[in-house]
Amino acid sequence: MQGYLVLEDGTVFEGKMDEIVSPVKGELVFYTGMTGYQEVLTDPSYKDQIVVFTYPLIGNYGINDQDFESKKPQVKGVILFQLTEHYSHYKANRSLKDYLQKWNIPYLTNVDTRAVVKQIRSKGTLHAVISKDKQYDSQDKLSDFPIRDVSASEIETFGNGATHIALIDFGFKKSILNSLLKRGCKVSVVPFHQMEKVFEIKPHGIVLSNGPGDPKQMKNYFSTLNQLMKQYPTLGICLGNQLIALSFGGNTTKLRFGHRGANHPVIDQKTGNVFITSQNHSYVVDKKSLEKTPLKLRYTNVNDGSVEGLEHEKLKVMSVQFHPEAHPGPEDASFIFDEFLDTYVAAGREKVYA
Ligand SMILES: NC(=O)CC[C@H](N)C(=O)O
């Protein structure tokens, strides 16, 4: 049957719906990678968003048990051109369609995704509704505190390595945890609302995770974050990068339509190296606002010059807007974890136990 994607500016796109669903509302964003749909759907940073996949054929390697970034799909809905049921991959055990249906995630196929992206590109990110009717009206609400919906409720510890990292959870991706475990860390995942417990845990370092929505929703926590960073070597990833900037007095703004894909070139201003990164963000640190902070610009986006990473001038605090854990995407940036653990955390150990 027919289904519709109705944008808040009144534009309507037609598609095909397999089953009738109650209308869902979300922020309409597009992901440009050719692969990675399983990771995208389950990345908690996509909470409350309707994702348009720009690659025209999605689902051809199915869904497997390893590549989930969290326990369930986090997106509000999915817009595709072709959703194939014929999948082939040695790890796959079900089709993408079965997976979306099992979790009641509405999707529309046969949509002219190029036209949708052009609309977002010229108008900027918009809210939209997936519905069987051509109506924007919907009972569905967007959360004003999506981090609360995706963060863990209790502290949980993984691994038994010698280096203990507190991963502050704003909706962390499993591959951030895995990147730390793979490097021999013991990792305590600390829900954001218990971040002051890090002072009791006394880790060797802190990682501030990715997470959904506007980083300013965390404003009540900026002073605690600031205190933590004065005491522990810190790495911020994506939302974590934005929170670091805000906690030191910088500002964030919203990009017109965000960076979501697996091929965003970034330049390291220190070394001149360019590498390709995986990205998923709408907000960005305001470069000018860094002037009044103790933070220095380390990485910038080659395409639009936006801020991609920071370093504190004195403290052992570093952050990146891109995703060094990749998943999906190239692993060019995995050196970020090594740099943090080998340089920042190793050097910070004595200080923690002094
Ligand atoms: N992946 C993330 O951590 C995203 C951060 C933030 N929610 C943004 O959209 O910019």
pLDDT, residue 349, reads 55
The answer to whether 269 touches 298, Cβ cutoff 8 Å, is yes
Task: Determine how many CB atoms are found less than 10 A away from the CB of residue 352.
Answer: 15
pLDDT, residue 133, reads 94
- Residue from 235, 254, 281 to probe ligand 1 pocket by mutation (most atoms less than 8 Å from CB): 281
- According to CATH, what is the number of the domain 146-353? 3.40.50.880
pLDDT, residue 241, reads 98
- Residues of the chain within CATH 3.50.30.20 domain(s) are 2-131
pLDDT, residue 3, reads 97
DSSP string for 237-299: ETHHHHHHHHHTT--EEEEEEEEEEEEEEEEETTT--EEEEEEEEEEEE-GGGGGGSSEEEEE
d(CA 74, CA 106): 12
- Residue from 46, 70, 239, 244 to probe ligand 1 pocket by mutation (most atoms less than 8 Å from CB): 239
Residue 109 per-residue DSSP state: B
pLDDT, residue 333, reads 98
Q: Where does ligand 1 bind, in terms of residues with CB under 6 Å?
A: 45, 210-213, 238-239, 280-283
Atom of ligand 1 nearest to the CA of 255: 10
Beta bridge partners of 94: 63
Burial of 284 by CB count in 10 Å (0-12 exposed, 13-18 middle, 19+ buried)?
A: buried
pLDDT, residue 19, reads 87
| 159 known ligand binder | no
> Does the structural domain 2-131 have CATH classification 3.50.30.20?
yes
Per-residue model confidence as pLDDT tens digits over 67-121: 999 999 999 999 999 999 999 999 999 999 999 999 999 999 999 999 999 999 9
- Residues of the chain within CATH 3.40.50.880 domain(s) are 146-353
Nearest CA-CA partner of 170 in 104, 230, 216: 216
Q: List, run by run, the mean pLDDT of 10-residue segments along the chain (354 residues).
A: 97 95 95 98 98 98 98 98 97 98 97 98 95 92 95 97 97 98 97 98 98 98 98 98 98 97 97 98 98 98 98 98 97 97 80 44
Q: Which residues of 76-110 are buried (b: 16+ CB within 10 A; e: fewer)?
A: bbbbbbebbeebeeeebeebbbebbeeeebbbbbe
ipTM of the complex: 0.98
pLDDT, residue 352, reads 46
How many angstroms is it from 237 CA to the middle of ligand 1? 9
What token pair was written down for 129? 């509704």
| 280 known ligand binder | yes
